């Protein structure tokens, strides 16, 4: 008993948290990220890595479905927190920690949770639902961690059955086209006119450092995006951007881009600055001068790094004409490295609101790029709010 308790206490000291942001709730997400890191916990990058799922904001019907699927994909012991107001985040995390230690609860959870076979059978019973999924091609493939059935967890108690599990759903549906409920890749011509498999995958909406609520339905050849369609889960958010937080939001975007570029220290620095800027409105916070000095340091650091420049130079260079044609803000001109530096410069700007960007512009910017570069390009656009020009882009199943 003593040993199990000790392991539990030791384990929950380094809990991994998957944070899901509902569009319009980025400040709550930032607060959660900050509280998580301040406890010495980590931010998970996939459901498999997570012990605690934190949903920031009030999800609409589409987002709720996505979150439920992410929840099914978590291995357990698992705890879910739904935060819908700016509550005392640290206290809620402490509650989550105690819940993680409740062995009985997790024993029941593992016994009662649905297996992948259950979830797939569920889908068969609701042909409309199934049809909806099929329509989106291989959305099941799991780029998204939202719809990917292959992640369906069999839970601890079922672990030993995993070999059977895969075969069990072989007799479900179309055996040739979608073994295990996952459609196979189809052939198509690649850039050189040669036959190459095309795989349909979704990027988003639950993906680290990805704009909240955005889904890119991509056709991939290898990891090159040959075709893409953008959608917003549940449509654009109703909240209006809060004027005083533009600078902090920008730091958050800088942190995301640096994290995607694989530079953890610089990303942590940008994140720390975001938190300092959010604090400025509270009494007893850091002075503005200190934040400004920090910004100078980060700026120098970014300019000095040759590896960063080498890595981001030339990535999706946009000329002034391109920018005008796409209807992007003027500071989007140049390549991803230019956009990063410009973004950091603009942290100081006195802007109080940033016009939203039409999500429909993104596909043309990422088509032809591999997934890694596409992620860098999307992050370099300094997106604040997204809106969809055509409301038909909604993916809600409701």
Is residue 13 a contact residue for another protein (CB under 8 A)?
A: yes
Question: For residues 324 and 272, what is the distance between their CA atoms, to the nearest angstrom?
Answer: 34
Is residue 193 a contact residue for another protein (CB under 8 A)?
A: no
* Sequence-separated (6 or more) residues with CB below 8 Å from residue 46: 18, 145
Contacting range for another protein; rule: CB under 8 A; set: 12-20, 58-66, 80-88, 228-236: 12-20
Coil/strand/helix, residue 224: strand
Q: Where does residue 262 fall: left (phi above 0), alpha (psi -120 to 50 degrees), or beta otherwise?
A: left
Give me Rg for the CA atoms of the chain.
Answer: 22
**Residue in 69, 207, 298, 386 binding another protein, rule: CB under 8 A:** 207
* Sequence-separated (6 or more) residues with CB below 8 Å from residue 12: 51, 97, 100, 101
Q: Which is nearer to another protein, 64 or 145 (CB)?
A: 145
Residues 235-264 that bind another protein (CB under 8 A): 258-264
Q: How far is the CB of 138 from another protein (least distance, A)?
A: 8
Is residue 197 a contact residue for another protein (CB under 8 A)?
A: no
- Answer yes or no: are the C-beta atoms of 140 and 133 closer than 8 Å: yes
Please provide the distance, in angstroms rounded to a whole number, between the alpha carbons at the two ends of the chain.
Answer: 47
**Residue in 310, 324, 325, 364 binding another protein, rule: CB under 8 A:** 310
Is residue 362 a contact residue for another protein (CB under 8 A)?
A: no
Q: Which is nearer to another protein, 299 or 311 (CB)?
A: 311
Question: For residues 266 and 254, what is the distance between their CA atoms, to the nearest angstrom?
Answer: 9
Residues 38-57 that bind another protein (CB under 8 A): 38-40, 45-46, 48-49, 51
Q: How far is the CB of 319 from another protein (least distance, A)?
A: 22
Residues 329-358 that bind another protein (CB under 8 A): none
Contacting range for another protein; rule: CB under 8 A; set: 90-98, 123-131, 218-226, 348-356: 218-226
Is residue 222 a contact residue for another protein (CB under 8 A)?
A: yes
Neighbours of 1 (CB within 10 A): 5
Residues 114-173 that bind another protein (CB under 8 A): 116, 120, 141-143, 145, 148-156, 159, 162-163, 165-166, 169
Residue bearing tokens 């402490």: 94
């Amino acid at each position: 008993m003593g040993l199990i308790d000790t392991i539990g206490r030791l384990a929950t000291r380094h809990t991994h948290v998957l944070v899901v942001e509902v569009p319009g709730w980025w400040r709550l997400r930032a607060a959660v990220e900050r509280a998580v890191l301040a406890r010495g916990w980590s931010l998970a990058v996939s459901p498999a890595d997570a012990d605690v799922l934190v949903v920031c904001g009030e999800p609409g019907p589409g987002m709720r479905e996505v979150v439920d699927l992410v929840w099914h994909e978590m291995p357990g012991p698992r705890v879910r927190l739904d935060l819908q107001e700016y509550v005392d985040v640290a206290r809620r995390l402490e509650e989550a920690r105690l819940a993680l230690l409740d062995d009985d609860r997790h024993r029941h959870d593992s016994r009662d949770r649905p297996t992948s076979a259950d979830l797939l059978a569920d889908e068969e019973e609701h042909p409309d639902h199934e049809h909806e999924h099929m329509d989106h091609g291989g959305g099941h493939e799991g780029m998204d961690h939202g719809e990917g059935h292959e992640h369906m967890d069999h839970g601890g108690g079922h672990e030993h059955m995993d070999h059977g599990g895969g075969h069990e759903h072989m007799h479900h549906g179309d055996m040739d086209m979608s073994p295990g409920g996952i459609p196979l890749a189809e052939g198509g011509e690649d850039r050189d006119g040669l036959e190459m498999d095309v795989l349909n995958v979704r990027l988003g909406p639950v993906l680290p450092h990805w704009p909240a609520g955005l889904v890119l339905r991509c056709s991939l050849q290898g990891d090159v995006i040959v075709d893409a369609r953008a959608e917003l889960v549940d449509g654009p958010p109703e909240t209006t951007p809060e004027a005083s937080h533009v600078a902090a939001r920008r730091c958050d975007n800088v942190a995301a881009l640096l994290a995607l570029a694989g530079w953890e220290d610089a990303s942590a620095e940008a994140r720390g600055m975001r938190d300092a800027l959010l604090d400025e409105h509270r009494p007893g916070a850091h002075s503005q001068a200190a934040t400004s000095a920090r910004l100078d340091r980060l700026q120098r650091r970014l300019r000095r790094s040759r590896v960063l420049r080498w890595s981001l130079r030339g990535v999706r260079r946009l000329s002034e004409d391109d920018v005008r044609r796409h209807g992007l803000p003027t500071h989007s001109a140049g390549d991803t490295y230019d956009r990063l530096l410009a973004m950091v410069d603009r942290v100081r700007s006195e802007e109080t609101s940033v016009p939203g960007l039409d999500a429909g512009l993104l596909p043309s910017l990422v088509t032809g790029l591999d997934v890694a570069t596409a992620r860098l390009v999307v992050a370099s656009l300094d997106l604040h709010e997204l809106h969809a020009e055509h409301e038909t882009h909604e993916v809600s199943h409701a």
